[in-house]
Structure formats: C-alpha cells, structure tokens
Chains A and B, each alone.
Chain A
C-alpha cells in the first residue's frame, strides 16, 4: 500500500499503529488469563490508504494536504475490536478510557443511539498524552459480531452502484440491523442468566 503522501510522518503513524495494537494484545492476554475467555472475537487495524485519505478530504471540501489531514481527521490510524456480547463493548471501552496514558477526545455511542440506517458500533477517539505519539488522534471502534456482520454487508453494498430498487434494499438492511440487535440482546440476556446461575 502506497503511503508516500504521509512523508516523514509515516514512521510515527506506524509506531502508533504498533503501540496501540500492543495495548490491545496486552488487554486481551490479561483478560484471557483472568477469565479463561478471550474477550475479543477478532481485531483489525490499519493506517488509512493514501487514496481513501484523499477521497475523505475531498468529500469534506478540505485542502488535500497532510497538514489538513492531521488537523481535521481523527481516523488516519484506526482500530476495530469485534467482541461477542454487548457488555464486552463497554468493558473494553472502560479499560481504555481509564488507561493512564490515554486521553479520550470524542465518544460516539451508536450502540445506544444507532444511526438512522441501523448502524451500531461504539466509536472512541483517543490520543496519547505524552511522548513521541502525543496528540495524534486515532479511532477505536468496538462492536459485536452481529453489528460487524451487518456493517460489512452495508459497506459492500455502498460500492455496488447498480442495485435494483435501492430504497427497498436500504429499508430491508435497516430492518436486518434491528433484528440483529434483537438477537444481540437475547444472547446478552442468556449470558446474564447463565452468570446468575453460576453465582
């Protein structure tokens, strides 16, 4: 992937990508050791490609420069954690919100307040408070498997321009989102019942 647009900043962004990935691995390992269950189903991370960075700046009518990207965009470095249950979303979020080296800049809770199309996920924008990585914002998205499954399908459809009856597809996708959210809650409820029985 070409990232020449980033110039001298690239090593710093790569370090940020590595550093926070290590933080996630550490959380995952300590929680797995404590509870015998890996709280993370899967995890992805990326530095935004030059092409999609330029597209995003253009969409927002911003100058196509690295300076404006660093000043205006908060997801140049992005992480996505996919977990099994809804309560894990908030447990993971709390861990990083209470992390002494991190400062939470923005929190958007699309789990409690879904987007009109049905999109559900928790978005957190953090920055490191000290050191070489200080004050570079990065995005952490946390969602369940079913939220992730829905988002993947919706993302794929965005790039298919010749859909017959797009309004119907959008309505049906929104309906699927609320059915999947319903299943998430049923699974969470069953999890709670099992936990209560264990106690």
Chain B
C-alpha cells in the first residue's frame, strides 16, 4: 500500500518513513503542504499522514483543499496541540483520525492500520446514483434494464464520481484512480469506456469533460 507523509520536521518524517517501510508500506514524503498537494495531485495513495503545523500550507488547509477536490483518501492529522477545538477543526476539515504529539510510533502504526482497514471496509459495497447501482465488490454497473461488468480501474474512477456527483473532479484526481503510470490519453479512453457503459445500461447520466476536469451530470 502507498502512504504519503507530509511533515516538515525532517527527522520525524524520515524516521516515520523508515519505520513504515519496514512494515511493508511504500512511502512518499513531502516537507510542506504545497509539496504534499503536488504529490497528491500526481500520485495515488491509500492513506496519508499530515502534520497540523507546516510552512506554505498547513495540514488543515491541505486537507480542506483535497477534500474539496473530491479526494477521499483517509488521512491522519498529527497535531502538537491536544485542545478539543483543534481536534474538532481537524476532523471537520475531513481528517479520519488525529494523533497528538508527542506520540508513540507503535500507536501511529496501529492507527494507520485501523484507518486503512476501515477505509477499505467503507469503500467496499455499493454506491447509488440516480437509477444506477455501482457494485464495487462484484465490479458491476447495474440499472433496471441491464448489467455490465467493469474492470478495477473503471470501478475506482467511477467511485470518485459517484461519491461527488455534479462536482468537478480535477483530471489529476481522476488520473490517480488509474494508478501511477496513467496519462491523460489513457484517462480519456477510460472516461469513454465508462460513458459507453453508462449509455449501454440506459443510465440517466454521463461523465462530462470540461477544461479543468470531469463531472458526473446530475
């Protein structure tokens, strides 16, 4: 699994990276919020750890930005403060969990594992939009007229649209659903596959391309 650590304290982030790599994760590290955002736009991550206080863009703003873009990757927020208001602010911004500094590495690893478990449980199952059902486990798209199979990449891509219908999703976010090697040409083909599959089951929706990205018509 791929994890991103966005933490400006280099000693801490490097120690975290070594430890988590030892646990079998692929780790990417960014040292400020803006670098973190760039990495999120260009890579796919299963989970992320953000420091609350960082130069350029703090952890809460980074979180708000990616959530507003439709990115639902689970995030743990590291905070030096343990005040209730800070914790609430982090959770409200879209954090899945938080941990107050100083923390034990053991606890952070346990929380990451718990977050990834609950994320994979909540992203399994079924998503509805209009008259269409996306069955993620069986990788099928179903309407009252017909059912059609999807591949894993199509399921991942359509999941983002089904979670945020009518909202513009940036092309980079769409790309991250196709894996690290995907490019815009490949994305275009996958969007065309999905649109033809939506049409084939007579779904009352299509994915529309704009200059900035794509959105699922509602």
Binding site for B on A (CB under 8 A): 112-114, 175, 178-179, 181-182, 185-186, 188-190, 192-193
Contact = CB atoms under 8 A, between A and B. Distances in A.
Nearest to A176: B149
Contacts of B23: none
Nearest to B202: A112
Interface size class of B (residues with CB under 8 A): 10 to 19
Contacts of A112: 145-146, 200, 202
Contacts, number: 39
Given A112-B202, A178-B140, A193-B189, A188 B196 contact: yes
A183 to B, nearest CB: 9
Cβ-closest 3 pairs across A and B? A182-B149, A179-B149, A178-B149
Interface in B87-124: none
Given A113-B145, A114-B146, A175-B149, 16 more contacts: A113-B146, A175-B138, A178-B140, A178-B147, A178-B148, A179-B149, A181-B146, A181-B149, A181-B200, A188-B196, A189-B189, A189-B192, A189-B193, A189-B196, A193-B189, A193-B192
A114 B145 CA distance: 8
Contacts of A178: 140, 147-149
Contacts of B202: 112
Contacts of A189: 189, 192-193, 196
A72 B35 CA distance: 73
What does DSSP make chain A's interface, helix, strand, loop or mixed? helix
A119 to B, nearest CB: 12
Contacts of A182: 148-151, 197
B189 A181 contact: no
A90 B54 CA distance: 60
B140 A185 contact: no
Contacts of B140: 178
A193 B195 CA distance: 13
A185 B148 contact: yes
Nearest to B138: A175
Nearest to A179: B149
A181 B145 contact: no
Contacts of A179: 149
5 contacts: A112-B200, A112-B202, A178-B140, A182-B197, A185-B148
Nearest to B147: A178
A192 B192 contact: yes
Interface string B126-154: 00000000000010100001111111000
Nearest to A118: B147
Interface string B146-166: 111111000000000000000
A85 to B, nearest CB: 12
